[in-house]
Amino acid sequence: MAQEHILNLSQVFGSEQTEKLRRSQQLEDQVVELYATMRPGLMGFAYHVVGSTGDAEDLVQSAFLKLFDQLKRDAEIQNLRSWLYRVVHNLAIDHVRRKGSRESIQAEWLALRTENVHSAEYDLIQKQQIAGSLKALNERERHCLMLRAEGLSYVEIGDVLGLSQKSVSVYLARGLKKFGVAR
C-alpha cells in the first residue's frame, strides 16, 4: 500500500509538470501573437525616441521578454498596451541617456536637411563612390550591409542569409571597415 501511495504522488507530480509546460506554451503563444500585432506601433514609437531601427527593434524585443517574465510570474497587468508602451519608453529613455545619442541624432538630422541642397554632379559622384566602395566588399559583407541599411536587425539578416547573429555581426564589422577604407 505504501508503494501505491508513492506511485500516486509521482503521477500527480508528473501531471503538474505537464500542466506547467502546457501553461507555459500557451503563455508563449499569447505573447508571440501580441508581439505580432503590437510590434509595428511599438517600433515606430521606439524609433522616434532612439532614432535607430536596430536599437528600436532591440528595445521592443526586450519589452516583450519582460512581459513574458511578468506574466510567467502571474503578475497582474491591467492594460497590456499601456504597460508595453511604458516599458518601451523607459527602455528607450535609458538607452538615450546611456548613449547620449538624442543630441547627436538631432544634429545629424539638421545636417542632412541642410546638406540635401547638392548639385546633380555631386550626387553622381557620391553614387559612384558608393558603388566603388561596395565592389571592395565580398558578397556576404555587401548583403549584410545592404540589409542593415534597409533596417533589418542582426537576427533578421541572419534569417535572410542563413547566418548566425554572430556571423552577421562579423560581416557587418568587416564590411563597414572596408567600406570606410574604400571611400
Q: What is the pLDDT of residues 114-139, one digit of tens each?
A: 555 566 777 677 767 766 766 778 87
CA angle 42, 45, 51 (to 5 degrees): 120
My answer on whether 127 and 170 are in the same domain is yes
My answer on whether 34 and 88 are in the same domain is yes
- Taking only Cα atoms into account, the Rg of the chain, rounded to an integer number of angstroms, comes to 24
Final residue before a domain boundary, out of 66, 101, 136: 101
My answer on whether 13 and 96 are in the same domain is yes
CATH number at residue 50: 1.10.1740.10
My answer on whether 64 and 11 are in the same domain is yes
My answer on whether 89 and 125 are in the same domain is no
Q: What is the pLDDT of residues 39-58, one digit of tens each?
A: 988 888 788 778 888 999 99
For residue 46, give the DSSP letter.
H
Q: Quote the cell numbers at residue 124.
A: 553622381
Final residue before a domain boundary, out of 71, 101, 131: 101
CB 172 within 8 A of CB 144: yes
My answer on whether 38 and 84 are in the same domain is yes
My answer on whether 35 and 95 are in the same domain is yes
For residue 1, give the DSSP letter.
-
My answer on whether 96 and 124 are in the same domain is no
Domain assignment of residue 111, yes or no: no
Q: What is the pLDDT of residues 160-183, one digit of tens each?
A: 777 899 999 999 999 888 876 544
My answer on whether 86 and 131 are in the same domain is no
CATH number at residue 133: 1.10.10.10
pTM higher than the cut 0.75? no
Final residue before a domain boundary, out of 70, 101, 132: 101
| Cα 64 to Cα 87: distance, rounded to the nearest angstrom | 9
My answer on whether 125 and 87 are in the same domain is no
As for how many domains the chain has, the answer is 2
Domain assignment of residue 112, yes or no: no
My answer on whether 17 and 86 are in the same domain is yes
Structure confidence at residue 102 (pLDDT): 46
Long-range contacts of 133-141 (CB under 8 A, 24+ apart): 133/178, 133/179, 133/182, 133/183, 134/179, 135/182, 136/178, 136/179, 136/181, 136/182, 137/175, 137/178, 137/179, 140/171, 141/171, 141/172, 141/174, 141/175, 141/178
CB 91 within 8 A of CB 47: no
Which domain, by its residues, includes 139?
A: 120-182
Domain assignment of residue 21, yes or no: yes
pLDDT of 141 > 60? The answer is yes
pLDDT of 84 > 60? The answer is yes
Domain assignment of residue 113, yes or no: no
Q: What is the pLDDT of residues 58-80, one digit of tens each?
A: 999 999 999 988 988 888 887 78
